[in-house]
Chains A and B, each alone.
Chain A
Amino acid sequence: MELDFDIIELPDSDHPTTGDTAPDFTRPLVTDDYWEDVSLSSLLDDDPLLLVCYPMDGAFPATYIWNELRDRDFEGSYQLSIVGLSISTPYEHTTFIEERGIDAPLFSDPGNEVAEQYDIANDLDGMTGIAEPRPAVFLIDTDQTVQYAWVAGEWPAFPPYDQLEDALATHCEMKPLGQ
């Protein structure tokens, strides 16, 4: 996005980076069927996991990010799973999944503690009392090590999808052709 003015810069963050252990957490994980408490670590049994932290359901970046991820279909090319995380409630996630045709399950964290745990909390100007994760993506290996991390340094910001795809190509196995 090219703009002829400066956008908001976010302060430095001590978020997990490559080689760090991704902090574990348990939150309701919402699918189009139901939600139940699920831990991050329990999702790492088989394949690397892409954790996508995104602005609350209904904000346009949420739609843009998930549209882009759907168009790129990383799961069609690479052995990995994708999950989302926002502060929206399970009910909002259910609607978002249905209306936007999202394939990924979504963690619900209205208290924003996961973002605090990851040091990516973003206090929203003009919405007193509401904070959410900065846009961020973490590629987490099956041993819970972060292999790639991108965290927004300004607001608004969108994941660098090409760079992310390079990271997936480096760290994830290709799916066999024809699947």
Chain B
Amino acid sequence: MPMSDTDDTTPITLYRLQACPFCERVVRKLSAYDLPYTSRFVEPMHSDRNAVKRISGARTVPAIVDENTGVTMSESGNIVEYLDKTYGGAD
């Protein structure tokens, strides 16, 4: 999606839980593509994760919000696939 500042992408927001391996999987992919991102750490207690529920409809992490494409998504497998397709160059 074109942006007013073409040199820059808006950092992807990553909702994550400290030490969650599925979240680290996404971090590794974000780093591999050198994508700017901001981390929002949520609570271990599933029932307390209302911030994630508000943005994605579910309380699971990881979840990302990518304002560059308007995409919000959960589940690390989906996210990694999305990042590969969107930022990984060749499909």
Contact = CB atoms under 8 A, between A and B. Distances in A.
Interface of A: 28, 33-37, 90, 94
Nearest to B50: A33
Q: Is the interface of B mostly helix, strand, loop or mixed?
A: strand
Interface residues on B, range: under 10
B40 interface: yes
A33 B55 CA distance: 12
A69 B25 CA distance: 42
A28 B39 CA distance: 10
Contacts of A36: 38-41
13 contacts: A28-B41, A33-B40, A33-B42, A33-B50, A34-B15, A34-B41, A34-B43, A36-B38, A36-B39, A36-B41, A37-B38, A90-B41, A94-B43
A99 B41 CA distance: 19
B9 to A, nearest CB: 18
Contacts of B42: 33-34
A28 B38 CA distance: 11
Contacts of B39: 36-37
Contacts of A28: 41
Contacts of B51: 33-34
Contacts of A34: 15, 40-43, 51
Contacts of A90: 41
A124 B39 CA distance: 32
A73 B41 CA distance: 28
A35 B50 contact: no
